Amino acid sequence: MMTINSVNVTVTCPFCGSESHMVLDYRSFENWLNGELVQNAFPYLDANERERITSGICPECWDRMFPSEEDEEDSPEWHDTCDEEEEEDSPDDYWLEEDSPDDYWLEDGFNPYMGCYDYDC
């Protein structure tokens, strides 16, 4: 009887298409496929390798999507759309100018925007 000790896995990054080939312990891989948390199934892999197995995202694309605070400070292109402070929305912004919240009460007294009946609100 032949025993399988390892499994070859090829993962392709969904963003850049880079491929990564990994040799994983068969029992660990089987445990992960059966629902074991990736960090428990593969304690011998680092966080980048475990992320690569679960999402396929390579470390370079991960760093581009989620830069560290130091990277954000050095990279003005991450901030150029956030220079203007946005005002917080007030509840009045969600009503049409010609309508008021009172116009949305249904005949039976239910207000779908408040999620309650007039006697419960």
Q: Which of 48, 25, 1 is nearest to 9 (CA)?
A: 25
For residue range 108-117, list pLDDT tens digits in order.
Answer: 666 555 566 6
* Cα–Cα distance, 27 to 7 (Å, whole number): 9
Length of the chain: 121
Give the global pTM: 0.54
21 vs 46: CA distance, rounded Å: 15
The whole domain housing 27 covers 6-72
Residue tagged 């390579």 (tokens): 58
Q: Does residue 44 lie in a domain region?
A: yes
Count of C-beta atoms within a 10 Å radius of residue 29: 19
User: For residue range 5-63, what is the model confidence (pLDDT) as tens digits?
Assistant: 999 999 999 999 999 999 999 999 999 999 999 999 999 999 999 999 999 999 999 99
Structure tokens at 10: 């090829």
Overall number of domains in the chain: 1
**117 lies in some domain:** no
Residue 89 covered by a domain: no
In a domain, 25, yes or no: yes
The answer as to whether 43 is a domain residue is yes
Across the strands, what pairs with 7?
24
